[in-house]
Amino acid sequence: MDAIRRHSFWIIVLGGLVISLAMGLRHGFGLFLEPMSSELGWGRGVFAFALALQNLLWGLSQPFAGALADRFGAARVVVVGGALYALGLLFMGVSESALGMTLSAGVLIGLGLSGTTFSVILGAVGRAVAPEKRSMAMGIVSAAGSFGQFAMLPGTLGLMGWLGWSAALLAMGAIAALMLPLGAMLRDRPSAKAASDISLGAALDEAANHRGFWLLCLGFFVCGFQVVFIGVHLPGYLFDSGIAVHVGSTVLALVGLFNIFGTYAAGWLGGRYSKPRLLTWLYLIRGVVITLFLVAPLSPASAYLFGIAMGLLWLSTVPLTNGIVASVFGVQHLSMLGGIVFLFHQLGSFMGVWLGGFLYDLQGDYAVVWNIAILLSVVAAALHWFINEQPVSRPAPTEVEA
């Protein structure tokens, strides 16, 4: 294996491990909603607001984390993000007030996620692999995040049963600290200078004037709304319907398991077919799956089928969306531009998780939010149909005479 291929291999492996830990730990947060809210006397709105703020800050800080990774490499950003993530889990474990929950689960973990997840890691992967292999490599790393969701969710449930929710969060903080040495070994190399390079300001101006970039942002808003609403509120929705708690955790584990296949397949297909068209069909199928789940009689079996189907569609959007950004704008500012698109994902996440908790406390059910999620699937499908993934046309660099 030559040096370039070896470098690409280790970027994929280490990046996959970091995302696996970051996304795996986060995927189990919904399991803490009921025990924390009940024991500490909160309504579900307190927990939902903290996680909504987490997603919002994750998104708002993501372009800055991405710009730092583009400029200095991903290693430093991952180490700082991992430290904030671990501290957030530790403080969340000892929080007994709404303010403590907001600062720990909301602020610290939100900032930590911006340095340890997709935009930073996939930016490093995009720079490390050849263009024809980029979509596949992003699919592999995204699948690693899905494996983390599957593998760590039963562990989270086991820790809660063994230690209680507070000590379980402390143990999860220790696990999150593993991202520090992994990040330190992530020897990502910023893109080498080339004559065709453009400045950060020019890259921002180019994206701001590209219609497809904004359509991609709006479409990713829908993805965030759907997956975070389901990830946080589905266990509570099932519990309210008289279904055992372990069924909710199993459903989320199935989402993580089948997400492995979904994200890998999306990366593979994205290297062969139109990524915007694939996203259109993905969102349409999501809407159908949610509709069937709501109209069918609710049972453990129907919940498990829903988890399998949603898992195949869960993060399949990530390699396709980041692949479009790389195809259209190149990889020089990929982490930063991908971070801006991801900001819209997190704005959707904020709305999904917060609106779910707010309307539940107001009306006692999730019916309105489920219907919004279905309607947004149709909107996102239409938006992606009009995206062109052809590279932007840039003027040739002018030569300066000696």
Task: Tell me whether residue 13 is exposed, middle or buried, using C-beta atoms within 10 angstroms of its C-beta: 0 to 12, 13 to 18, 19 or more.
Answer: middle
Are 88 and 109 a contacting pair, CB within 8 Å? yes
pLDDT of residue 89: 95
pLDDT of residue 137: 83
Q: Say how far apart CA 166 and CA 58 lie, in whole Å.
A: 23
Q: Say how far apart CA 42 and CA 46 lie, in whole Å.
A: 6
Q: Is 268 helix (H, G, I), strand (E, B) or coil?
A: helix
Q: Say how far apart CA 87 and CA 171 lie, in whole Å.
A: 11
pLDDT of residue 374: 95
- Helix (H) or strand (E) holding 373, with range, is helix 367-385
Sign of torsion, CA 259 261 264 267?
negative
Which has the closest alpha carbon to 223: 179, 273, 259, 254?
A: 259
Q: Say how far apart CA 2 and CA 21 lie, in whole Å.
A: 29
Residue type (1 letter), 280: T
The answer for residues whose C-beta is within 8 angstroms of residue 283's C-beta and 6 or more apart is 219, 222, 223, 377, 378, 380, 381, 384
Spans in the chain with pLDDT lower than 70: 1-4, 189-197, 394-402
Are 243 and 298 a contacting pair, CB within 8 Å? yes
pLDDT of residue 398: 53
Exposure string of 28-42, with b = 16+ CB inside 10 Å and e = fewer, is: bbbbbbbebbeebeb
Which has the closest alpha carbon to 92: 145, 43, 178, 25?
A: 25
The answer for residues whose C-beta is within 8 angstroms of residue 281's C-beta and 6 or more apart is 381
pLDDT of residue 395: 66
Q: Say how far apart CA 371 and CA 379 lie, in whole Å.
A: 13
Sign of torsion, CA 280 281 286 288?
positive
pLDDT of residue 402: 39
Q: Say how far apart CA 274 and CA 289 lie, in whole Å.
A: 23
Q: Say how far apart CA 342 and CA 323 lie, in whole Å.
A: 13
Phi, psi of 176 (to 5 degrees): -60, -30
